[in-house]
Amino acid sequence: MPLITAIFAFHQVTPYLRPALRSLLTQTLADFEVIVVDNGTGLGLGAFGEEGRDPRLRLISFPTNQGIPAAHNAALAQARGRFIALMDYDDVALPRRFECQAAALEAKPQLGLVFSHALEIDGSDRPLGPAFTLATVREQYEFSAYSMPAVSPTTFGRREVFAQVPMDGGFQIAPDLDFTSRALERWPSEALREVLLHYRRHQIQTTETRRSLQQFNASMCRLMTARRRAGRPEGRGELRQELAAWQEEAPAPPQNFAWFALRAQQEGFPLLAAYFARQLLAVRRTPGTVRTAWRVTAAALRSAPDKRVQLLRMLFTGPLRTHNLRRL
C-alpha cells in the first residue's frame, strides 16, 4: 500500500492543469498514489497528456460537476495511503512537499494535520509574495475560528482525520474552512516554515468567479464554529434552512457581513460580531455600514466590558493582533 494518497480534483481544463499534476508526479518521496477526480469535464486522464499515463494515477469520473466535497469524499473512500495530501488543479507542489510533510507527521504523532508555507504566484508563474501562513498549534486553532490558517492546497494529514471529518457537501464553494476548523478541534496541527507549494492567483479560479458565495459560506462556518467552541449545538441544518434563500444566490458581502455581525452579537459572541463589523467596513464604508458596524460594536462592548481592549482591537486591527498571532 502507498504511504500517501494525493487527491487531485478538477472541473475545468486550464493551462495550469498538467503542470500541477506533474509537480505531484516528480516528488522526491515516491511512495504515493494520486486519485484524480474528473468533476464533469468528461476528459478523464486524457486531459493530462503524457502525465495522464503514469501508473500511479487512479481515476474517478463524475458526469457533472458535483463540487469539491463530493470529489474529495469519493476519493477518500478509495484512498489506500496512511497519509492524505490535498492538491488544487492550478497550483504547483515543490519536489520535497511529500517528503517534508510526511516526516513531520512521523516525528510528531500527536499532530493530525500539517500545512506548509507557500509562495503566491500569478497566472504567468511570477512570484507575488508569501502566502498567509500561521505556524504553531495555538495560532492555527485560534485563527481557524475566522479563516484558513494556511492555504488549503498545502493540507496534509493522517487518513483518520479525513475519515472522521468528511467535507460537508452543503459547502460547494471553499469547504476547506469548515473542514479545517472541525478537524483542529480534535487534532492539533502545525505548518512547516519551508515553502513547499506555489499557490496560484488568477482571475478564473473559483474563489474569484464565485466570491460572494465563498464569503457567505465562510461566514456560516464562522458562526457554527463559535457555537461548537462555546459548547453549543452548531445548528448546521437549522442555519441552512433559515438562510435557504441565500444558498444558491449568495448576498453581496456588505449584506452578508451585516447579517452575521448582528446574529453573532445576538447569540453572545462579541469578538466574532466585532470581526464581522470589521469585514463589513472593509468591503464598503458608507454611512449605513458605519452605523451598523458601530451599533454592533457598541452592543458588544456593553455585553462584554471585560473584553473592551480585545473588541476594539478586533474592530480596528483584526484577529492577528487581537489574539497575538504572528504570520510567517
Instruction: Encode 30-62: b = buried (16+ Cβ within 10 Å), e = exposed.
Output: eebbbbbbbbbbeeebebbeebbeeeebbebeb
In a domain, 58, yes or no: yes
In a domain, 258, yes or no: yes
109 and 64 in a single domain? The answer is yes
Nearest-angstrom CA–CA distance, 124 and 272:
38
115 and 230 in a single domain? The answer is no
In a domain, 239, yes or no: yes
Give the CA angle between residues 237, 249, 149 to the nearest 5°: 65
Out of 207, 235, 265, a domain closes at: 207
* Amino acid sitting at position 138: R
193 and 59 in a single domain? The answer is yes
Contact by Cβ (8 Å): 33, 2: yes
Out of 157, 189, 207, a domain closes at: 207
H helices within 146-286, ranges in order? 159-164, 176-184, 206-209, 211-229, 236-242, 253-266, 270-283
235 and 198 in a single domain? The answer is no
252 and 264 in a single domain? The answer is yes
* Amino acid sitting at position 201: R
In a domain, 328, yes or no: no
Backbone φ and ψ of 197, nearest 5°: -155, 145
* Amino acid sitting at position 245: A
189 and 242 in a single domain? The answer is no
83 and 159 in a single domain? The answer is yes
Locate 251 and state its grid cell: 448576498
225 and 185 in a single domain? The answer is no
Question: Within the chain, how many helices (H) and strands (E) appear?
Answer: 14, 9
| Cα 94 to the center of its chain, rounded Å | 20
pLDDT given for residue 250 in this prediction: 67
132 and 152 in a single domain? The answer is yes
pLDDT given for residue 210 in this prediction: 72
Contact by Cβ (8 Å): 145, 178: no
Contact by Cβ (8 Å): 273, 315: no
Domain that holds residue 270: 210-322
Contact by Cβ (8 Å): 228, 234: yes
71 and 174 in a single domain? The answer is yes
Supply the pTM of this predicted model.
0.94
pLDDT given for residue 299 in this prediction: 96
pLDDT given for residue 207 in this prediction: 54
Indicate the number of domains in the chain.
Answer: 2
235 and 92 in a single domain? The answer is no
Contact by Cβ (8 Å): 70, 45: no
Looking at residue 17, which CATH number applies to its domain?
3.90.550.10
229 and 123 in a single domain? The answer is no
In a domain, 149, yes or no: yes
Locate 200 and state its grid cell: 496560484
In a domain, 327, yes or no: no
Out of 207, 229, 246, a domain closes at: 207
pLDDT along the chain (328 residues), means of 10: 97 94 97 97 94 96 94 97 97 98 98 98 96 98 98 98 96 90 98 98 65 89 98 96 78 85 97 97 92 95 96 97 97
